[in-house]
Amino acid sequence: MIAIFDQLRIAMDIDQIKTFLAVAAHGRFLQAAERLHVTQSTVSARIGNLERVLGARLFVRNRQGATLTPAGQRFVRHAKTLMLTFEQARHEVGLPSRFRASLTVGARIALWDDWLPRWARRLGEMAPDVSLNTEIGFEDELMRRVVAGTLDLALMYGPRQGAGLRVEPLFDEQLILVGREPVTAALDDDYIYVDWGPTFYAQHRRAYPEMERPARTANIGWLALQLILSSGGSCFVPDRVAMPYLRTGRLRQIPGSPQLRLPAYVVYADDSASAERDLALALLREMTDTASGFVD
């Protein structure tokens, strides 16, 4: 992991990175100082030192506050990666002696619904001396984290191919249309469009070519389900996610509606192999099959 840091990154004090991100988030040096419990002059000194190391101005300062320059905007993503790498390194170095290694795994929230927790249980049973760090994220951020080396495995629905990355299919989710009432399959203003990614979008357009822009949207299925349970409507979610609600009668599958397919993938870096990661991948593969999408 230390190989991630080049000479430039090593030269940067981690407090400078924290300070930069605080100013970028709050837009004012004073508010950043209050957030970090330091003086405003300390914030100014840290930003000045960072700008000298980078050889670029990061903020434009005026009466309205501090605005990121184009160079500052480009540096935000690198600063976040540096902080994540630092925190991960601190976690691994500080692990109790009973743990020999750690894995960091990120995934879309729907994959953490029942399926990945069962995988995590199996991993814990087979490798109790491996510490597991788990996170939720969306495709773009998960992909960046794998490239940066701060995620060992990322599970998602719409990965991009990239140099040095392995994109491995796992199983196909079956998305079904569910609602609180057994309404018709036609989508009305109470329908909630869940952004499951470009693959879902293309299938959705084919299934409903005449549909106007949805009046209600959600970026994750869990949120759409909560809205439907509270105020009615319908949405597409994986059948395995909907199953507990269908069994208890809280939701019903809409009759006559199409079933849409959503492939799930695992993404990892070619150059980060380890015995722990190989075991984690082997268990993921064991839990998937072409017939049912997952097995217990």
Is pLDDT at 148 greater than 80 in this prediction? Answer: no
Is pLDDT of 9 > 70?
A: no
Higher local confidence (pLDDT), 78 or 186: 78
Cα–Cα distance measured from residue 115 to residue 119, given in angstroms and rounded to the nearest whole number: 7
**47: number of Cβ within 10 Å:** 23
- pLDDT (average), residues 18-27: 88
Calculate the CA 268 to chain-centre distance: 14
- Distance separating alpha carbons of residues 286 and 289, to the nearest angstrom: 8
Choosing among 2.40.50.90, 3.40.50.300, 1.10.10.10, 3.30.200.20, the CATH entry for 2-90 is 1.10.10.10
pLDDT at position 295, please? 43
Range(s) of the chain covered by CATH 3.40.190.10: 92-171+263-286, 172-262
Give the number of other CB atoms < 10 A from CB of residue 156.
Answer: 26
- The fourth-level CATH superfamily of domain 172-262 is Periplasmic binding protein-like II (3.40.190.10)
Confidence of residue 294 (pLDDT cuts 50, 70, 90): very low
Using CA atoms, how far apart are residues 174 and 282, in angstroms rounded to an integer?
A: 23
Per-residue pLDDT averaged across 65-94, rounded?
Answer: 81
The predicted model gives 85-97 an average pLDDT of 68
Judge whether residue 272 has pLDDT over 50. Answer: yes
List pLDDT tens digits, range 38-74: 899 999 999 999 998 899 999 998 888 899 999 999 9
pLDDT at 7 over 70: no
Tell whether the model's pLDDT for residue 291 goes beyond 50: no
Q: What is the CATH code for 92-171+263-286?
A: 3.40.190.10
pTM, rounded to two decimals: 0.70
Cα torsion angle, 185, 188, 190, 192, sign: positive
Cα separation, 121 vs 254, in Å, equals 34
Mean residue pLDDT of the chain comes to: 86
Q: Given this model, what pLDDT does residue 100 score?
A: 79
Q: Where in the chain is the domain with CATH 1.10.10.10?
A: 2-90
